[in-house]
Amino acid sequence: MSKTRWLLIGSGALLMVAVVVAAVYRGYGASAVEVKTGVAVRRVYEDKVLATGKVETVNPAEVVTPYAARLVSLRVKEGDRVTAGQSLGELDLTDSEQNLKDAEAAYNIARVELEQAYDEAKPERLAEAESALQASRVAAEAARKKLERYKYLLEQGAVSQAEYEEVEAAYTRAQAEEEAAAARLQALREDSADRIEIQQARLQQAQIALEKARQMVDKGRLPAPIDGVVLQISSDVGSYLQPGVPVLTVGNPDALEVVAEVSEQDIGGIAPGQDVDLNWAGAPGKTFKGKVSRVSPAVVRSGARESENVVKVYIEILQGRQELKPGATVDAVIYRVKPHHTVLVPNEAVVGKGPNRTVFVIEDGRARRRAVTVGYSNELYTEIRSGIEPGQRLILNPKGIRDGQPVREIGGGAK
C-alpha cells in the first residue's frame, strides 16, 4: 500500500475520533447540572457559652436575728476565724431572760404538783383516808345517838331548847365530816391515775417552754452556726433589728464555687462535667480552670439585669482556688464542646438525619455519593468524623442529585 494511501486512512481515523470526542463532550455538557459547592476543611471546632459569675462559698451560713431586738455588741470582725457555737455578739436579752425566769418558775410549779399527785396515790395515803372515814362514821353515829337522847330529855323538860339545838348542830357537823371523808377516799381511789397523767402532761409542756426560752437566750448571743471565717457583717451595733434580718455570714473560704448566670436561650447543652475557663480582673492574664458541677432546674430573673431570664450554673473551681476571693465577679467560658481539630463541612452539604448521613463530592465533573459519620454541629458547620478528606469539594443543597450525574460548579463555596 502506498504511503499516500496510509496517510489518508490515518487522517480519516483521527477525524472520526475527534468527531466522537466532540459528540461526547457536547453530550456531557448538555446534561451537566449547575451546582453550588463548598469545601471540607480541617480546623478547630468548639462550642462555648460566655457568662458572668460570682465567686461564692459553698454552703455559707447566715446568722440572723431570732426576734426583734437591738444589736448590743459584736465580738468579731470580717476575716476572723470562728468555731461552731462560739458567741459572735449579743442582742438585748432583757425580754428573753425574763421569759426564761417565768418559764423556770412555771416548770418548778408543775414539778411540785406532779410530786403531790404521786404522793396522794400512795397506798398509805389511801389507808389514812379509809381510817379518817371510819373515825368520822363512828363520830357521826355517836352524835346521832346523843341527839336522840337529848330529844327525849327535851320532851321530859330535863334539858333546854338551846342545849338540844347545840347537840343537833354537832350532829350536822359530824355528818358533813363523814361525807367529806367519804368523798376524799373516793377521789383518791378513782382520780389518782388521771391526776398523775394530767400533771405529767403539764410538766412536759412546761419543760418544752423552758427549753425554748433557753434557746432564745442562747440565740440572742448569736452563736456561730459552723466552723469558718466571718465573710461579711451586715448589721451595725445599736441597730434595732427585725426577726430574720442577717447580722453576719460565716463560710469556709477554702470551699469556693462560681455561680454563673446563663441566658435561657444559651442553656441548652450545658451539663455537669463540662470544662470552664474563668477570668478575674484581680488576676489579669491568668485563666482559672473549673468544671460545671450542676445546673439549676429553674429559670429565674437575673440578679444584675432584672429584665433578663437566666439559669444558674454552678461551677467547681479546680485551679486557683486560693487566689480567688469570695464575692469576686468572674467571666466564665463554658465549653459545651472542647476545642479540637476536625473536618468541617457546610451544613447545606449534609443530607439525612442521625449519626450516619450522606454528602455528594465532585470527582472528575461528576457527583459522587459518600456515606459519612457526623459529630457536633452549629449554625454553620457540621463535623465529619469519617467518610471524606479535607479539601474535597461538596455539593450544597444536593436535592435531586444522583450518584454519577455530571455537574458543573457555579461557585457558592469557600476556595
Strand partners, 230: 250
Please report the pLDDT score of residue 6 as a whole number. 44
Q: What DSSP line would sit under 152-208, residue for residue?
A: HHHHHTSS-HHHHHHHHHHHHHHHHHHHHHHHHHHHHHHHHHHHHHHHHHHHHHHHH
Please report the pLDDT score of residue 253 as a whole number. 80
Chunk the chain into consecutive blocks of 10 residues (it has 415) and report each block's average pLDDT, rounded to whole numbers: 48 48 44 93 94 91 94 94 94 93 92 78 67 86 89 87 89 90 74 73 91 93 93 93 95 89 92 95 92 94 80 92 86 94 96 91 95 92 95 94 94 56
Please report the pLDDT score of residue 27 as a whole number. 43
Distance CA 243, CA 272 (A): 38
Please report the pLDDT score of residue 359 as a whole number. 96
Q: Are 45 and 383 in contact (CB under 8 A)?
A: yes
Please report the pLDDT score of residue 383 as a whole number. 96
Please report the pLDDT score of residue 394 as a whole number. 96
Q: What DSSP line would sit under 228-290, residue for residue?
A: EEEEEE-S-TT-EE-TT-EEEEEE-TTSEEEEEEEETTT-TT--TT-EEEEEETTSTT-EEEE
Instruction: Look up cell 470562728; give the residue.
Output: 82
Please report the pLDDT score of residue 189 as a whole number. 66
What is the 8-class DSSP label of residue 5?
A: H
Domains, the chain, with CATH or none: 50-62+252-339 (2.40.30.170), 63-92+220-251 (2.40.50.100), 94-219 (no CATH)
